Structure 1
Amino acid sequence: MTTITKGAALRIALAAKVLEGVDPRAFTVKLAEKVGLPITEDKLAAVTVAEIKLLLTGEETVEPDQDMASIKLAVRYLWGDNGDDSDVPKPESYTDGELPDSLRVAVASNSGDNVDGHFGSAPRFLIYQVGKTAIKLIDVRPTLIADEAEDKNVARSELINDCQIVYVQSIGGPAAAKVVRAGVHPVKFPTPGPAVAALARLQGTLDAPPPWLAKIMGVEAKSLAQFAAEEEEA
Protein backbone atom coordinates (compact mmCIF):
# COMPACT_ATOMS: atom_id res chain seq x y z
CA MET A 1 0.00 0.00 0.00
CA THR A 2 1.37 3.42 -0.97
CA THR A 3 1.78 5.61 2.12
CA ILE A 4 1.98 8.87 0.17
CA THR A 5 0.88 9.85 -3.32
CA LYS A 6 3.31 11.43 -5.75
CA GLY A 7 1.29 14.66 -5.81
CA ALA A 8 1.23 14.88 -2.01
CA ALA A 9 4.99 14.29 -1.84
CA LEU A 10 5.58 17.20 -4.22
CA ARG A 11 3.34 19.49 -2.16
CA ILE A 12 5.18 18.59 1.05
CA ALA A 13 8.58 19.17 -0.58
CA LEU A 14 7.51 22.65 -1.73
CA ALA A 15 6.08 23.47 1.70
CA ALA A 16 9.19 22.31 3.58
CA LYS A 17 11.39 24.39 1.27
CA VAL A 18 9.90 27.68 2.50
CA LEU A 19 10.04 26.72 6.18
CA GLU A 20 13.59 27.61 7.15
CA GLY A 21 15.39 24.95 9.16
CA VAL A 22 12.64 22.33 8.72
CA ASP A 23 13.79 18.83 7.73
CA PRO A 24 11.52 17.50 4.94
CA ARG A 25 11.54 13.93 6.30
CA ALA A 26 10.63 14.97 9.84
CA PHE A 27 7.99 17.34 8.46
CA THR A 28 6.47 14.48 6.44
CA VAL A 29 6.36 12.22 9.52
CA LYS A 30 4.57 14.89 11.55
CA LEU A 31 2.09 15.47 8.75
CA ALA A 32 1.43 11.73 8.58
CA GLU A 33 0.70 11.72 12.32
CA LYS A 34 -1.69 14.62 11.79
CA VAL A 35 -3.63 13.56 8.67
CA GLY A 36 -3.11 9.78 8.82
CA LEU A 37 -1.84 7.35 6.18
CA PRO A 38 -1.90 7.32 3.28
CA ILE A 39 -1.04 11.02 2.79
CA THR A 40 -3.11 12.27 -0.14
CA GLU A 41 -3.76 15.57 -1.86
CA ASP A 42 -7.29 15.68 -0.43
CA LYS A 43 -6.00 15.33 3.13
CA LEU A 44 -3.36 18.03 2.65
CA ALA A 45 -5.99 20.37 1.20
CA ALA A 46 -7.75 20.32 4.58
CA VAL A 47 -4.69 21.32 6.65
CA THR A 48 -4.95 24.75 8.29
CA VAL A 49 -2.39 27.40 9.21
CA ALA A 50 -3.15 26.87 12.91
CA GLU A 51 -2.47 23.13 12.56
CA ILE A 52 0.90 23.74 10.89
CA LYS A 53 1.88 26.20 13.63
CA LEU A 54 1.05 23.55 16.22
CA LEU A 55 2.86 20.88 14.22
CA LEU A 56 6.03 23.01 14.14
CA THR A 57 6.07 23.78 17.88
CA GLY A 58 4.15 20.99 19.57
CA GLU A 59 2.47 23.50 21.89
CA GLU A 60 -0.36 25.95 21.24
CA THR A 61 1.26 28.62 23.44
CA VAL A 62 4.65 28.53 21.72
CA GLU A 63 5.33 30.60 18.62
CA PRO A 64 7.22 28.78 15.80
CA ASP A 65 10.62 29.96 14.59
CA GLN A 66 9.16 30.57 11.13
CA ASP A 67 7.34 33.82 10.35
CA MET A 68 3.63 33.73 9.57
CA ALA A 69 4.15 34.68 5.92
CA SER A 70 6.30 31.58 5.38
CA ILE A 71 3.81 29.35 7.19
CA LYS A 72 0.92 30.69 5.11
CA LEU A 73 2.90 30.13 1.90
CA ALA A 74 3.75 26.58 3.02
CA VAL A 75 0.06 25.88 3.63
CA ARG A 76 -0.78 27.19 0.16
CA TYR A 77 1.70 24.69 -1.27
CA LEU A 78 0.10 21.91 0.79
CA TRP A 79 -3.26 22.95 -0.65
CA GLY A 80 -1.96 22.55 -4.18
CA ASP A 81 -0.44 25.90 -5.19
CA ASN A 82 2.54 24.68 -7.22
CA GLY A 83 4.18 28.04 -7.77
CA ASP A 84 2.44 28.54 -11.10
CA ASP A 85 2.95 32.14 -12.18
CA SER A 86 0.03 32.32 -14.60
CA ASP A 87 -1.55 35.06 -12.49
CA VAL A 88 1.62 37.17 -12.48
CA PRO A 89 1.45 40.26 -14.72
CA LYS A 90 3.78 40.45 -17.72
CA PRO A 91 6.60 43.04 -17.73
CA GLU A 92 6.38 46.07 -20.01
CA SER A 93 9.18 47.18 -22.30
CA TYR A 94 11.48 49.70 -20.66
CA THR A 95 14.64 51.54 -21.69
CA ASP A 96 17.02 52.98 -19.08
CA GLY A 97 16.47 56.72 -18.80
CA GLU A 98 12.93 56.49 -20.12
CA LEU A 99 11.57 57.78 -16.79
CA PRO A 100 13.92 60.55 -15.56
CA ASP A 101 14.43 60.85 -11.78
CA SER A 102 12.62 57.56 -11.22
CA LEU A 103 13.10 54.87 -8.59
CA ARG A 104 13.42 51.13 -9.06
CA VAL A 105 11.35 49.19 -6.53
CA ALA A 106 11.29 45.45 -5.89
CA VAL A 107 8.06 43.95 -4.54
CA ALA A 108 8.10 40.63 -2.66
CA SER A 109 5.05 38.85 -4.04
CA ASN A 110 3.34 35.52 -3.42
CA SER A 111 0.45 36.08 -5.80
CA GLY A 112 -0.52 38.22 -8.78
CA ASP A 113 0.72 41.78 -8.55
CA ASN A 114 0.35 42.01 -4.78
CA VAL A 115 2.68 43.09 -1.98
CA ASP A 116 2.05 39.95 0.07
CA GLY A 117 5.40 38.18 0.41
CA HIS A 118 7.91 37.71 3.18
CA PHE A 119 11.39 38.67 1.99
CA GLY A 120 12.84 35.24 2.75
CA SER A 121 10.08 33.09 1.25
CA ALA A 122 8.31 35.00 -1.54
CA PRO A 123 8.58 33.02 -4.80
CA ARG A 124 9.29 36.14 -6.84
CA PHE A 125 10.16 39.83 -6.85
CA LEU A 126 8.22 42.13 -9.15
CA ILE A 127 10.47 44.95 -10.33
CA TYR A 128 8.83 48.33 -10.96
CA GLN A 129 10.22 51.59 -12.30
CA VAL A 130 8.41 54.42 -10.53
CA GLY A 131 8.57 57.88 -12.11
CA LYS A 132 6.56 61.05 -11.74
CA THR A 133 4.52 60.30 -14.86
CA ALA A 134 4.30 56.50 -14.91
CA ILE A 135 4.69 53.25 -12.98
CA LYS A 136 5.96 50.36 -15.10
CA LEU A 137 6.51 46.71 -14.27
CA ILE A 138 9.84 46.05 -15.97
CA ASP A 139 10.83 42.58 -14.72
CA VAL A 140 9.70 39.51 -12.77
CA ARG A 141 12.50 37.69 -10.92
CA PRO A 142 11.86 34.19 -9.49
CA THR A 143 13.77 33.46 -6.29
CA LEU A 144 14.25 29.72 -6.76
CA ILE A 145 17.90 30.01 -7.80
CA ALA A 146 18.67 32.37 -4.92
CA ASP A 147 17.21 29.87 -2.45
CA GLU A 148 19.76 27.26 -3.52
CA ALA A 149 22.60 29.50 -2.27
CA GLU A 150 24.34 28.89 1.05
CA ASP A 151 22.93 32.17 2.38
CA LYS A 152 19.61 32.69 0.64
CA ASN A 153 19.04 36.14 2.13
CA VAL A 154 22.32 37.41 0.70
CA ALA A 155 21.44 35.83 -2.65
CA ARG A 156 17.96 37.39 -2.59
CA SER A 157 19.52 40.77 -1.78
CA GLU A 158 21.88 40.43 -4.74
CA LEU A 159 18.92 39.53 -6.94
CA ILE A 160 17.46 43.02 -6.37
CA ASN A 161 20.61 45.09 -5.82
CA ASP A 162 19.80 47.31 -8.80
CA CYS A 163 16.73 48.56 -6.89
CA GLN A 164 16.65 51.38 -4.35
CA ILE A 165 13.68 50.04 -2.35
CA VAL A 166 12.06 46.67 -1.65
CA TYR A 167 8.45 46.40 -0.49
CA VAL A 168 7.71 43.36 1.71
CA GLN A 169 4.92 42.14 3.92
CA SER A 170 7.51 41.19 6.51
CA ILE A 171 11.27 40.77 6.92
CA GLY A 172 13.47 39.61 9.79
CA GLY A 173 16.17 41.77 11.35
CA PRO A 174 19.20 39.81 10.05
CA ALA A 175 17.73 39.69 6.54
CA ALA A 176 16.97 43.42 6.63
CA ALA A 177 20.60 44.13 7.52
CA LYS A 178 21.75 42.14 4.48
CA VAL A 179 19.30 44.00 2.24
CA VAL A 180 20.57 47.37 3.48
CA ARG A 181 24.15 46.19 2.96
CA ALA A 182 23.21 45.55 -0.68
CA GLY A 183 22.12 49.19 -0.99
CA VAL A 184 18.37 48.51 -0.87
CA HIS A 185 15.94 50.13 1.59
CA PRO A 186 13.28 47.70 2.95
CA VAL A 187 9.74 49.01 3.51
CA LYS A 188 7.13 46.86 5.30
CA PHE A 189 3.47 46.57 4.27
CA PRO A 190 1.99 44.24 6.94
CA THR A 191 -1.43 44.26 5.25
CA PRO A 192 -1.32 42.63 1.78
CA GLY A 193 -2.57 44.69 -1.14
CA PRO A 194 -2.02 45.62 -4.79
CA ALA A 195 1.54 46.72 -5.51
CA VAL A 196 0.44 49.50 -7.85
CA ALA A 197 -1.65 51.12 -5.10
CA ALA A 198 1.33 51.17 -2.74
CA LEU A 199 3.63 52.44 -5.49
CA ALA A 200 1.16 55.19 -6.41
CA ARG A 201 1.53 56.58 -2.89
CA LEU A 202 5.30 56.55 -3.35
CA GLN A 203 4.91 58.23 -6.73
CA GLY A 204 2.93 61.04 -5.10
CA THR A 205 5.92 61.98 -2.92
CA LEU A 206 8.53 62.23 -5.68
CA ASP A 207 8.09 66.00 -6.20
CA ALA A 208 8.68 66.71 -2.51
CA PRO A 209 10.18 63.57 -0.97
CA PRO A 210 10.39 63.07 2.80
CA PRO A 211 13.92 62.88 4.26
CA TRP A 212 14.33 59.10 4.06
CA LEU A 213 13.30 59.04 0.41
CA ALA A 214 15.29 62.14 -0.51
CA LYS A 215 18.41 60.42 0.83
CA ILE A 216 17.76 57.42 -1.42
CA MET A 217 17.12 59.66 -4.43
CA GLY A 218 20.10 61.88 -3.70
CA VAL A 219 18.03 65.06 -3.77
CA GLU A 220 17.18 67.80 -1.30
CA ALA A 221 14.40 66.89 1.11
CA LYS A 222 11.41 69.02 1.95
CA SER A 223 11.92 70.67 5.32
CA LEU A 224 11.75 68.33 8.30
CA ALA A 225 9.32 70.71 9.98
CA GLN A 226 6.94 70.60 7.01
CA PHE A 227 7.15 66.82 6.82
CA ALA A 228 6.48 66.46 10.56
CA ALA A 229 3.47 68.78 10.32
CA GLU A 230 1.98 66.74 7.50
CA GLU A 231 2.50 63.49 9.43
CA GLU A 232 0.61 64.94 12.41
CA GLU A 233 -2.28 65.97 10.16
CA ALA A 234 -2.50 62.55 8.47
Structure 2
Amino acid sequence: MTNGIITKTAALRIALAARTLSEVNMGGLVAKLGDHLGLPITEDKLAKVTVADIKLILSGEETVDPDVDGATIKLAVRHLWGQSNEADNLPELDSYTEGDLPGSLRVAVASNTEENLDGHFGSCPRFLIYQVAREEVRLIEIRPTVLADEAEDKNVARAELINDCQIVYVQSIGGPAAAKAVRANVHPVKVPEGGKVRYTLQRLQRVLDAPPPWLAKILGVEAKSLRQFAESEDE
Protein backbone atom coordinates (compact mmCIF):
# COMPACT_ATOMS: atom_id res chain seq x y z
CA MET A 1 0.00 0.00 0.00
CA THR A 2 1.27 3.53 -0.82
CA ASN A 3 0.50 5.80 2.16
CA GLY A 4 -2.76 3.91 2.65
CA ILE A 5 -4.21 5.70 -0.40
CA ILE A 6 -3.36 3.40 -3.28
CA THR A 7 -1.64 0.08 -3.79
CA LYS A 8 1.58 -0.04 -5.83
CA THR A 9 -0.02 -2.18 -8.54
CA ALA A 10 -3.00 0.16 -8.77
CA ALA A 11 -0.63 3.13 -9.05
CA LEU A 12 1.15 1.47 -11.99
CA ARG A 13 -2.16 0.78 -13.74
CA ILE A 14 -3.24 4.41 -13.31
CA ALA A 15 0.12 5.65 -14.62
CA LEU A 16 -0.35 3.58 -17.80
CA ALA A 17 -3.93 4.82 -18.18
CA ALA A 18 -2.84 8.45 -17.71
CA ARG A 19 -0.15 8.05 -20.38
CA THR A 20 -2.71 6.56 -22.75
CA LEU A 21 -5.05 9.51 -22.20
CA SER A 22 -2.34 11.79 -23.57
CA GLU A 23 -2.45 15.00 -21.53
CA VAL A 24 -4.02 13.69 -18.31
CA ASN A 25 -2.00 14.30 -15.15
CA MET A 26 -1.53 11.14 -13.10
CA GLY A 27 -1.99 12.94 -9.78
CA GLY A 28 -5.23 14.47 -10.96
CA LEU A 29 -6.46 11.11 -12.25
CA VAL A 30 -5.63 9.46 -8.89
CA ALA A 31 -7.56 12.18 -7.05
CA LYS A 32 -10.63 11.82 -9.28
CA LEU A 33 -10.56 8.03 -9.12
CA GLY A 34 -10.27 8.29 -5.35
CA ASP A 35 -13.35 10.52 -5.24
CA HIS A 36 -15.21 8.17 -7.56
CA LEU A 37 -14.16 4.80 -6.12
CA GLY A 38 -13.36 5.70 -2.54
CA LEU A 39 -10.03 5.21 -0.75
CA PRO A 40 -7.91 3.21 -0.73
CA ILE A 41 -7.69 2.63 -4.49
CA THR A 42 -7.12 -1.08 -5.07
CA GLU A 43 -6.85 -3.40 -8.05
CA ASP A 44 -10.32 -4.81 -7.26
CA LYS A 45 -11.87 -1.36 -7.44
CA LEU A 46 -10.06 -0.50 -10.68
CA ALA A 47 -11.30 -3.76 -12.24
CA LYS A 48 -14.86 -2.41 -11.93
CA VAL A 49 -14.20 0.91 -13.72
CA THR A 50 -16.15 1.33 -16.95
CA VAL A 51 -15.75 3.52 -20.04
CA ALA A 52 -18.75 5.54 -18.80
CA ASP A 53 -16.95 6.09 -15.47
CA ILE A 54 -13.86 7.46 -17.21
CA LYS A 55 -15.91 9.75 -19.44
CA LEU A 56 -17.63 11.09 -16.32
CA ILE A 57 -14.32 11.51 -14.50
CA LEU A 58 -12.79 13.36 -17.45
CA SER A 59 -15.76 15.64 -18.04
CA GLY A 60 -14.71 19.20 -17.35
CA GLU A 61 -11.03 18.19 -17.13
CA GLU A 62 -9.23 21.07 -18.85
CA THR A 63 -6.00 19.14 -19.42
CA VAL A 64 -7.61 16.43 -21.53
CA ASP A 65 -7.10 16.53 -25.29
CA PRO A 66 -10.53 17.61 -26.63
CA ASP A 67 -10.12 15.13 -29.49
CA VAL A 68 -9.79 12.12 -27.17
CA ASP A 69 -11.74 9.25 -28.71
CA GLY A 70 -13.66 6.25 -27.50
CA ALA A 71 -10.99 3.74 -28.54
CA THR A 72 -8.39 5.58 -26.45
CA ILE A 73 -10.67 5.63 -23.41
CA LYS A 74 -11.30 1.90 -23.84
CA LEU A 75 -7.54 1.28 -23.92
CA ALA A 76 -7.11 3.35 -20.74
CA VAL A 77 -9.81 1.29 -19.03
CA ARG A 78 -8.02 -1.91 -20.05
CA HIS A 79 -4.88 -0.58 -18.36
CA LEU A 80 -6.89 0.13 -15.22
CA TRP A 81 -8.14 -3.46 -15.34
CA GLY A 82 -4.56 -4.71 -15.61
CA GLN A 83 -4.89 -5.97 -19.19
CA SER A 84 -1.63 -4.95 -20.86
CA ASN A 85 -1.92 -3.98 -24.50
CA GLU A 86 1.31 -5.90 -25.17
CA ALA A 87 -0.64 -9.11 -24.60
CA ASP A 88 -2.66 -8.49 -27.74
CA ASN A 89 -2.13 -10.74 -30.73
CA LEU A 90 0.17 -8.61 -32.84
CA PRO A 91 0.30 -9.34 -36.57
CA GLU A 92 3.25 -11.14 -38.11
CA LEU A 93 5.67 -9.13 -40.23
CA ASP A 94 5.97 -9.77 -43.96
CA SER A 95 9.33 -10.37 -45.58
CA TYR A 96 10.81 -7.11 -46.85
CA THR A 97 14.20 -5.86 -48.02
CA GLU A 98 14.80 -2.16 -48.58
CA GLY A 99 14.23 -1.48 -52.27
CA ASP A 100 11.51 -4.11 -52.70
CA LEU A 101 8.27 -2.82 -54.22
CA PRO A 102 9.74 0.11 -56.22
CA GLY A 103 7.42 3.08 -56.49
CA SER A 104 5.56 2.08 -53.31
CA LEU A 105 4.47 4.27 -50.41
CA ARG A 106 5.48 3.80 -46.78
CA VAL A 107 2.45 4.18 -44.55
CA ALA A 108 2.11 4.30 -40.76
CA VAL A 109 -1.08 3.28 -38.96
CA ALA A 110 -1.96 4.25 -35.39
CA SER A 111 -3.02 1.02 -33.72
CA ASN A 112 -4.16 -0.04 -30.25
CA THR A 113 -4.99 -3.68 -30.95
CA GLU A 114 -4.00 -6.43 -33.36
CA GLU A 115 -3.97 -5.29 -37.02
CA ASN A 116 -6.59 -2.59 -36.49
CA LEU A 117 -6.74 1.09 -37.33
CA ASP A 118 -8.09 2.11 -33.92
CA GLY A 119 -5.56 4.51 -32.42
CA HIS A 120 -5.28 8.19 -31.56
CA PHE A 121 -2.03 9.71 -32.87
CA GLY A 122 -1.00 10.96 -29.42
CA SER A 123 -1.79 7.87 -27.38
CA CYS A 124 -1.63 4.70 -29.52
CA PRO A 125 0.90 2.20 -28.12
CA ARG A 126 2.32 1.45 -31.56
CA PHE A 127 2.46 2.39 -35.22
CA LEU A 128 2.16 -0.39 -37.78
CA ILE A 129 4.42 0.36 -40.76
CA TYR A 130 3.42 -0.82 -44.24
CA GLN A 131 4.93 -0.72 -47.70
CA VAL A 132 2.03 -0.16 -50.09
CA ALA A 133 2.35 -0.83 -53.83
CA ARG A 134 -0.38 -1.06 -56.48
CA GLU A 135 -0.45 -4.86 -56.34
CA GLU A 136 0.84 -5.67 -52.87
CA VAL A 137 0.82 -4.56 -49.23
CA ARG A 138 3.46 -5.68 -46.73
CA LEU A 139 3.65 -5.07 -42.99
CA ILE A 140 7.35 -4.35 -42.52
CA GLU A 141 7.65 -3.03 -38.93
CA ILE A 142 5.83 -2.54 -35.64
CA ARG A 143 7.13 0.55 -33.83
CA PRO A 144 6.24 0.97 -30.13
CA THR A 145 5.73 4.56 -28.97
CA VAL A 146 6.84 4.11 -25.36
CA LEU A 147 10.23 5.82 -25.83
CA ALA A 148 8.69 8.69 -27.81
CA ASP A 149 6.39 9.36 -24.88
CA GLU A 150 9.36 10.09 -22.64
CA ALA A 151 10.27 13.11 -24.79
CA GLU A 152 9.47 16.67 -23.70
CA ASP A 153 7.09 17.01 -26.66
CA LYS A 154 5.80 13.52 -27.31
CA ASN A 155 3.85 14.46 -30.42
CA VAL A 156 7.01 15.78 -32.05
CA ALA A 157 8.77 12.57 -31.01
CA ARG A 158 5.94 10.45 -32.42
CA ALA A 159 6.13 12.34 -35.72
CA GLU A 160 9.89 11.78 -35.84
CA LEU A 161 9.33 8.08 -35.13
CA ILE A 162 7.46 7.74 -38.44
CA ASN A 163 9.15 10.47 -40.49
CA ASP A 164 10.22 7.94 -43.14
CA CYS A 165 6.52 7.43 -43.94
CA GLN A 166 4.56 9.56 -46.37
CA ILE A 167 1.16 8.96 -44.74
CA VAL A 168 -0.11 8.17 -41.25
CA TYR A 169 -3.63 6.81 -40.84
CA VAL A 170 -5.26 7.57 -37.49
CA GLN A 171 -8.69 7.21 -35.99
CA SER A 172 -8.26 10.66 -34.51
CA ILE A 173 -5.64 13.39 -34.13
CA GLY A 174 -5.69 16.86 -32.61
CA GLY A 175 -4.90 19.96 -34.66
CA PRO A 176 -1.52 20.74 -33.01
CA ALA A 177 -0.40 17.12 -33.38
CA ALA A 178 -1.46 17.09 -37.04
CA ALA A 179 0.63 20.21 -37.67
CA LYS A 180 3.67 18.51 -36.11
CA ALA A 181 3.16 15.45 -38.32
CA VAL A 182 2.97 17.66 -41.41
CA ARG A 183 6.18 19.44 -40.38
CA ALA A 184 7.82 16.00 -40.31
CA ASN A 185 6.59 15.50 -43.90
CA VAL A 186 4.00 12.92 -42.84
CA HIS A 187 0.47 13.49 -44.16
CA PRO A 188 -2.17 12.57 -41.52
CA VAL A 189 -5.39 10.94 -42.74
CA LYS A 190 -8.27 10.54 -40.27
CA VAL A 191 -10.52 7.49 -40.51
CA PRO A 192 -12.98 8.12 -37.63
CA GLU A 193 -14.79 4.80 -38.14
CA GLY A 194 -11.50 2.89 -37.84
CA GLY A 195 -11.53 -0.75 -38.87
CA LYS A 196 -9.19 -3.37 -40.27
CA VAL A 197 -5.95 -1.89 -41.58
CA ARG A 198 -5.83 -4.00 -44.73
CA TYR A 199 -9.25 -2.75 -45.84
CA THR A 200 -8.12 0.88 -45.55
CA LEU A 201 -4.90 0.17 -47.43
CA GLN A 202 -6.81 -1.63 -50.19
CA ARG A 203 -8.81 1.56 -50.70
CA LEU A 204 -5.53 3.45 -50.95
CA GLN A 205 -4.24 0.99 -53.54
CA ARG A 206 -7.30 1.54 -55.72
CA VAL A 207 -6.53 5.26 -56.17
CA LEU A 208 -2.79 4.98 -56.81
CA ASP A 209 -3.28 4.96 -60.58
CA ALA A 210 -5.52 8.04 -60.49
CA PRO A 211 -4.54 9.81 -57.26
CA PRO A 212 -6.50 12.74 -55.82
CA PRO A 213 -4.51 16.00 -55.56
CA TRP A 214 -3.28 15.45 -51.98
CA LEU A 215 -1.94 11.98 -52.84
CA ALA A 216 -0.54 13.09 -56.20
CA LYS A 217 1.55 15.68 -54.34
CA ILE A 218 2.96 12.97 -52.07
CA LEU A 219 3.70 10.71 -55.04
CA GLY A 220 5.26 13.57 -57.00
CA VAL A 221 2.93 13.09 -59.97
CA GLU A 222 0.18 15.13 -61.59
CA ALA A 223 -3.31 14.47 -60.31
CA LYS A 224 -5.50 12.85 -62.96
CA SER A 225 -8.25 15.41 -62.36
CA LEU A 226 -5.83 18.27 -62.94
CA ARG A 227 -4.41 16.61 -66.06
CA GLN A 228 -7.88 16.26 -67.53
CA PHE A 229 -8.54 19.94 -66.85
CA ALA A 230 -5.27 20.89 -68.57
CA GLU A 231 -6.16 18.74 -71.61
CA SER A 232 -9.56 20.41 -71.92
CA GLU A 233 -7.90 23.83 -71.78
CA ASP A 234 -5.55 22.83 -74.63
CA GLU A 235 -8.50 21.77 -76.74
TM over 0.5: yes
Q: What's 1:45 paired with?
A: 47
Q: Note the alpha carbon deviations across 1:178-219, whole angstroms, 9 max, x for none.
A: 100100110001012110110011011112212211111112
**TM-score, reference length from structure 1:** 0.87
Decide which of 187, 190, 195 is 1:188's aligned counterpart. Answer: 190
Q: Secondary structure at the match of 2:192?
A: coil
* Residue aligning to 1:132: 134
Task: Name which of 161, 164, 188 aligns with 2:163.
Answer: 161
TM-score (norm 2): 0.87
Shift of 1:98: 1.2
Residue aligned with 2:11, SS: helix
Question: Does structure 2 conserve the Cα–Cα contact (< 8 Å) formed by 1:57 and 1:63?
Answer: no
In structure 1, give the amino acid aligned to 2:212. P
Letter in 1 for 2:163: N
**Aligned counterpart for 1:4 among listed residues 6, 23, 39:** 6
User: Which ranges of 4 or more aligned residues in structure 1 deviate by more than 6 Å?
Assistant: none
Aligned to 1:26: 28
Q: Aligned ranges for residues 98-137 of structure 1 at < 5 Å?
A: 98-137=100-139
Distance 2:154 2:207 in 1: 33
TM-fit CA distance, 1:3: 4.3
Distance 1:65 1:176, change over 3 A: closer
SS in structure 1 of the partner of residue 224 of structure 2: coil
Structure 2: which amino acid aligns with 1:12? I
What letter corresponds to residue 139 of structure 2 in structure 1? L
Q: Of the candidates 71, 76, 79, which is equivalent to residue 77 of structure 1? A: 79
Per-residue Cα deviation, 1:128-165 (whole angstroms, up to 9, x for no partner) = 00011210000000000001001101100000000000
**Aligned CA distance change for structure 1 residues 65 and 103 (closer, same or farther; 3 Å):** closer
Task: Identify unmatched segments of 5+ residues in structure 1.
Answer: 228-234
Q: What SS is found at the alignment partner of 1:223?
A: helix
Percent identical: 67
In 2, Cα distance between the equivalents of 1:148 and 1:199?
30
Looking at structure 1, the residues matched to 198 and 116 of structure 2 have their Cα atoms a distance apart, in angstroms, of: 8
Hey, what's the Cα distance between the residues in 1 that align with 2:214 and 2:64? 33
Name structure 2 gaps, 5 residues minimum. 230-235
Between 1:215-224 and 1:196-205, the stretch displaced more is: 215-224
- RMSD of Structure 2 on Structure 1 (CA): 2.3
| Closer/same/farther in 2, CA of residues 93 and 160 from structure 1, 3 Å limit | same
Mapping for residues 194-205 of structure 1, pairs under 5 Å: 194-205=196-207
Are the aligned partners of 1:53 and 1:63 in contact in 2 as well (CA < 8 Å)? no
Q: Tell me the CA shift for residue 224 of structure 1.
A: 4.3
- Whether the 8 Å contact between 1:169 and 1:190 is mirrored in structure 2 is yes
Moved more, 102-111 or 42-51: 42-51
The one-letter code matched in structure 1 to 2:217 is K
Please say if residues 21 and 64 of structure 2, whose CA atoms lie closer than 8 Å, have aligned partners that are also in contact: no
Tell me the distance in 2 between the aligned counterparts of 1:23 and 1:177.
23
Query: What letter is aligned with 1:159?
Result: L
Q: Which amino acid aligns with 2:126?
A: R
What secondary structure is seen at the aligned counterpart in 1 of 2:168? strand
CA contact (8 A) 1:11 1:82 kept: no
Counterpart contact for 2:156–2:180, Cα < 8 Å: yes
Match of 1:231 in 2: none
Instruction: Kindly provide the CA deviation profile for residues 25-61 of structure 1, in whole angstroms up to 9, marking residues without a partner as x.
Output: 23212212211233222321221222222222359xx
